[in-house]
Every structure is written in C-alpha cells, then in structure tokens.
Amino acid sequence: MSAITIRKLPDETKRRLRIRAAANGRSMESEARDILTSALDHGHRVDLTWVEELIAAGTEAGGVELELPDDDEATAADFSPR
C-alpha cells in the first residue's frame, strides 16, 4: 500500500475531518482513506477528453454496434465547386 502526506491542510478542514471520523467511529486516517476512495470510485473526473466521455457513454449503454461498410463501397471524394 502507498502512503501520502497532505501539506497545507486548513485547520478547519482537519477539524471537520476529526469530527466526521469520530462520528463514524474511525481514525482520521481511516476516514480520509474512505473519503478519497469513495470520491475516486464514483468516477468524479474533470479531466475527461471528449473521446473518453464518448467511450464512457458507450460503455454505460452496454456498448455500441456500428455497421461498417464493405471495402468495395468506397467512393472517390468530390472536390468540385458547388
């Protein structure tokens, strides 16, 4: 298992963590671990690219079946002015 150190944690945040841990009958370390694990397990990501979002949406929908054309159906591009 890995360990991290969180520097510059505001006093009020530490106080609230201590109170929350006590209310749940856990140590502050255990409570912080639970908070981090819970937040990360629920897919809270803000840095998703549009491709990742598209893949995630397809996965949630049970996958997406795309009909691909046969190779012999390719047509030349038309670059003539309209």
User: What are the domain boundaries of the chain?
Assistant: 11-64
Q: Taking residues 48-70, what's their average pLDDT? A: 81
Contact (CB, 8 A) for 31 and 20: yes
Burial class of residue 2 (count of CB atoms within 10 Å of its CB; 0-12, 13-18, 19+): exposed
CA 19 distance to own-chain centroid = 28
- For the full predicted model, state whether its pTM sits above 0.75: no
Share of the chain above pLDDT 90, in %: 43
The pLDDT assigned to 52 comes to: 84
The mean predicted confidence, pLDDT, of the chain is: 86
